[in-house]
A and B are shown apart, each in its own frame.
Chain A
Amino acid sequence: MDFISTRLLSKDMIEDILKSAKGFEAKKDFSHVLKGKLLATLFFEPSTRTQFSFQSAIERLGGNVLGFSDTDGTSIRKGETLMDTIRMMSSYVDCIVMRHPKEGSAKLASEVSTVPIINAGDGSHDHPTQTLLDIYTIQKSFGKIDGLNVGVCGDLRYGRTGRPLSLGLSNWDVKMHYISPPQLSMDKGTIKYLRDKRIEVTEVLKIEDVIKELDVLYMTRIQRERFPTEEEYLKFKGVYVVDERIMGMAKQDMIVMHPLPRVDEITVEVDNDPRAKYFEQAKNGIPVRMAVLEKAIKED
């Protein structure tokens, strides 16, 4: 099966992946699960965590990996279409993990591919395996998801994590709080979608406006590559920062998450706070992506 869109992942499917990931985290030997299977990681945009965690995941499951992390030296530089690249690659491997700058590219790839496609980020649109590992981290921290107050802060418009996380969490009874400047706020379509699903949504300008209520504070980077000019980027960079002062205002069991890489939005002094979960969150990417790969390849 494909993993293209968080909106189209059912609660049952998400729970199935979380359960399977928990199993992989507890198991010692799983090198037989995808023995002999070959994964392609096609990264038309650079990535550190996502690409390496998929590579780690497939190799731990007994499979192998090939691919590229930029388009230099590939036929794409000669003008090959994405559709042709996918048609060709899907005849070489058992599954494709793809990151691409254009929104909807993963869906298009899935229509021409003969093997499952896993969307590892298509522009600002979606990044379903990030959302799955985010939800896994939240569930692991609290033992539940229902009833939680989740704040998502930073670049909610151009970022590829805040929107799908909200869609994924909308399968539970959560309250969403969006913290951003108006220029980077969550799109109206997503807020309408959430409210139609009876999710309570608030929008505030500052972390201080909502910090005392939060169980989860999900920080995101103000991303340079999402802005048309350097001037626009500099205007917002560093506006939203979590430091000791902010942590002092938060609940004793609130967790801080971040998809990483961070720039200025969480100061290093917060790293030693037991509520800082972002490195553990990145680590959770391995069992979650193992679960996704198993599901994708075995249910093809």
Chain B
Amino acid sequence: MAEIDKTLKVQKIENGTVIDHIAAGKGWEVVKLLGLEEYGGTVTLLSNAYSKTKGKKDVIKVENKQLDKKEVNKVALVSPEAAVNLIKNFEVKEKFNVSLPQEVTGILICTNPVCVTHFEPCETRFAVESKDPLTLRCAYCERVQSKVEFK
């Protein structure tokens, strides 16, 4: 029985991107963050899968799409330990850990309710002041926040 639990229930993909080692339960947020709901191809989300190191993890497989490195680095906002595998002909062509950018544009909401970004047609922008613990500073109201809220 234990052997069955340790086996991934999803087949290997021929071409595409596998985001592995996503914190358990965070896969749904990653799907939303990367806009994969809009992607017309096959996307598989494995939630609470077995993990040797953490006990549980989420995994996302995106078929026939090589995700852009800059784009996929946003995943670090919700799961800093996630790893990305770019797959071609069933083989891992490139592997990297996600890394937070210096600046996060457009995807987060400022937690300050009177920040101008809630009232004007503009994109939000945050400077990443610290990665651990996560500390973001709004480029407009300069309020520091550690909570991440997506638009």
- The residues of A with any CB-CB pair to B shorter than 8 Å are 5, 7, 81-83, 100-105, 107-108, 111, 122-126, 189
Could you tell me if B143 and A82 are in contact, using CB atoms closer than 8 angstroms?
A: no
Could you tell me if B121 and A104 are in contact, using CB atoms closer than 8 angstroms?
A: no
- CB B101 to nearest CB in A, in angstroms, measures 19
Tell me whether chain B's interface is mostly helix, strand or loop, or mixed.
loop
Cβ-closest chain B residue relative to A109? B116
Could you tell me if B121 and A7 are in contact, using CB atoms closer than 8 angstroms?
A: no
Q: A103-B141, A125-B142 are known contacts. Are A81 and B114 too (CB-CB below 8 A)? A: no
Count the B residues whose beta carbon is within 8 Å of the partner chain — how many? 17
Could you tell me if B120 and A83 are in contact, using CB atoms closer than 8 angstroms?
A: yes
Q: Chain A CB within 10 Å — which of B117, B121, B138, B141 has the most?
A: B141
Q: A103-B112, A103-B115 are known contacts. Are A81 and B120 too (CB-CB below 8 A)? A: yes
Against A, the Cβ 8 Å flags (1 = close, 0 = not) of B38-79 are 000000000000000000000000000000000000000000
Question: In the complex, A107 Cα to B139 Cα: how many Å?
Answer: 8
Q: A81-B121, A83-B121, A83-B122 are known contacts. Are A104 and B116 too (CB-CB below 8 A)? A: yes
Could you tell me if B122 and A103 are in contact, using CB atoms closer than 8 angstroms?
A: no
- The residues of B with any CB-CB pair to A shorter than 8 Å are 110, 112, 114-117, 119-122, 138-144
Cβ-closest chain B residue relative to A112? B122
Tell me whether chain A's interface is mostly helix, strand or loop, or mixed.
mixed
- CB B115 to nearest CB in A, in angstroms, measures 5
Could you tell me if A103 and B116 are in contact, using CB atoms closer than 8 angstroms?
A: yes
Question: In the complex, A123 Cα to B117 Cα: how many Å?
Answer: 13
Q: A83-B120, A83-B122, A102-B119 are known contacts. Are A107 and B140 too (CB-CB below 8 A)? A: yes
Residues in A with CB closer than 8 Å to B112 are 103
- CB B135 to nearest CB in A, in angstroms, measures 9
Could you tell me if B142 and A108 are in contact, using CB atoms closer than 8 angstroms?
A: no
Residues in B with CB closer than 8 Å to A124 are 114
- CB A96 to nearest CB in B, in angstroms, measures 15
- CB B14 to nearest CB in A, in angstroms, measures 45
Q: Chain B CB within 10 Å — which of A102, A111, A123 has the most?
A: A102
Residues in A with CB closer than 8 Å to B140 are 103-105, 107-108
Question: In the complex, A296 Cα to B83 Cα: how many Å?
Answer: 47
Residues in B with CB closer than 8 Å to A126 are 142
Question: In the complex, A83 Cα to B122 Cα: how many Å?
Answer: 9
With beta carbons under 8 angstroms apart, the residue of A5, A7, A102, A189 that contacts B116 is A102
Could you tell me if A7 and B122 are in contact, using CB atoms closer than 8 angstroms?
A: no
Could you tell me if B116 and A105 are in contact, using CB atoms closer than 8 angstroms?
A: yes
Question: Mind listing 14 A-B residue pairs with CB under 8 Å?
Answer: A7-B142, A82-B116, A101-B114, A102-B114, A102-B119, A102-B120, A103-B116, A104-B116, A104-B140, A104-B141, A104-B142, A108-B120, A123-B141, A189-B144
With beta carbons under 8 angstroms apart, the residue of A82, A111, A123, A189 that contacts B114 is A123
Question: In the complex, A43 Cα to B117 Cα: how many Å?
Answer: 19
Cβ-closest chain A residue relative to B139? A107
Question: In the complex, A82 Cα to B119 Cα: how many Å?
Answer: 9
Residues in B with CB closer than 8 Å to A102 are 114-116, 119-120
Cβ-closest chain B residue relative to A5? B142
Residues in A with CB closer than 8 Å to B122 are 83, 108, 111
